[in-house]
Amino acid sequence: MKESTKQLIEDNGYPMWKERVDSIGVVQNYQKRVDSQYPNAPLCSSNEKLFVNITYYSYHLPDGRASEGFELSLVHGVENGTWCDLKIYPVSDQQIVNGLRQFEDKLIEMWEVLYDSDLGKQLD
């Protein structure tokens, strides 16, 4: 990842909380709590919080090339105990730079749709 992209992610409130570096490549995990940014969005039923995750990966391929990109995700539970893992991927470095806030907005919109659907309600 470009240093400027890493700085943009961190400047937007995403601290890195985990990094794995091995012979296969690098995976970096960033997370931001967004409750205050989206005050009308529902919170996770298990912890009453709302997070957006960014995962950066760079893998070495057998032919010598590399596979690099980002995933943006939201992993939360709804009232009936069902969990969802909403992901947007693969996202390029340039897409992160040009549209980080738009990706956040889309994840929150998807979360709201799921939460308000029959899947998100208590089932008898």
Domains of the chain, by residue range, sit at 3-117
Confirm if 72 and 103 have CB atoms less than 8 A apart: yes
The Cβ-side half-sphere exposure at 37, using a 13 Å CA radius, reads 15
At 45 the pLDDT is 85
Residue 63 has pLDDT above 80, yes or no: yes
The share of the chain scoring above pLDDT 90, in percent, equals 74
Alpha-carbon distance values, 77 to 28, 34, 46, 98 (Å): 24, 16, 6, 30
The share of the chain scoring above pLDDT 70, in percent, equals 94
At 119 the pLDDT is 63
* Beta strands in the chain, from DSSP E residues, in sequence order: 16-21, 25-33, 51-60, 66-77, 83-91
At 81 the pLDDT is 80
In this prediction the pTM is 0.90
